[in-house]
Amino acid sequence: RAALAPNEGNASSISELREAAEGCRRCPLWRDATRTVFGEGPDNASVVFVGEQPGDQEDLAGQPFVGPAGKLFDAILDDAGVKRQKIYVTNAVKHFKFEPRGKRRLHSKPNAGEVQACRWWLDRELGLIKPSLVVALGATAAQSLLGKAVPVTKMRGEVMQREDGLRVFITIHPSFILRIREPTDKEAERERFLQDMKLVKRLM
Ligand code: URA
């Protein structure tokens, strides 16, 4: 396995952990990505939201959920009365994985090994923040948080409890809504996600 980044083992705060993650070599994704995109938000947040991995815009900006999926996520959080400044937002995988297609970089799904390697960072984020609830946005986040495949569309809106007591709320990834073309279906899915976020607000 690759060598540890400097201070990787003994970070005692989120900012130290973020700094250590800049040099992460736990999997090969760092090679093509611009930078590590670490979690963002208050280090005493009561709720942590976990996405899949940074996208093109997140990779360039160095912040999670700032691209199209992030904008939709923000709008729906706002509609649900959840303040983004009060939550901690991170990803299961912290480097952008993509396929070059001309000048564009197309999102490519992280594999099980990459998710497993990056779980090291997510575990430490959760250990330092100690949230009362974690929201898994989509299958990759659920897999990372629960250590097994979860049928997200069947389980959405439900809370699963881990052996360590941590409660994990299951829902879809907001990019799923973006991919729906048919306007009525898209609106219906947005509404379902809004209901999930209202439920999260009640559980906060
Ligand atoms: N999708 C994610 O899962 N995470 C981001 O940060 C952006 C898009």
Q: For the chain, which residues make up each domain, given as ranges? A: 14-203
Q: What is the pLDDT of residues 5-57, one digit of tens each?
A: 656 667 999 999 999 999 999 999 999 999 999 999 999 999 999 999 999 99
Return the SS3 of 81: coil
ipTM exceeds 0.90, yes or no: yes
* pLDDT over threshold 70, residue 4: no
Which uninterrupted H or E stretch holds 115? helix 112-129
Mapping DSSP to helix (H, G, I), strand (E, B) and coil, where does residue 27 land?
Answer: coil
The pLDDT assigned to 1 comes to 46
pLDDT at 10 (0 to 100): 79
- Contacts of 80 by beta carbon, 8 Å cutoff, 6+ apart: 194, 197, 198, 200, 201
The best mutation among 97, 106, 173 to test binding of ligand 1, ranked by most ligand atoms within 8 Å of the C-beta, falls on: 173
Reported as a single tens digit per residue, the pLDDT across 91-138 is 999 999 999 999 999 999 999 999 999 999 999 999 999 999 999 999
Nearest to 19 by CA among 7, 4, 29, 30: 7
Which superfamily does 14-203 belong to?
Answer: Uracil-DNA glycosylase-like domain (3.40.470.10)
pLDDT in tens, 130-166: 999 999 999 999 999 999 999 999 999 999 999 999 9
Distance 127 CA to ligand 1 centre (A): 21
Q: Is the CB of 110 under 6 A from ligand 1?
A: no
Q: Is the pLDDT of residue 3 over 60?
A: no
Question: Which residue, among 86, 162, 88, has the nearest Cα to 125 in the 3D structure?
Answer: 88
Is there an atom of ligand 1 within 6 Å of 64 CB?
Answer: yes
Q: For a pLDDT cut of 70, what percent of the chain falls above it?
A: 96
C-beta 39 within 6 A of ligand 1? no
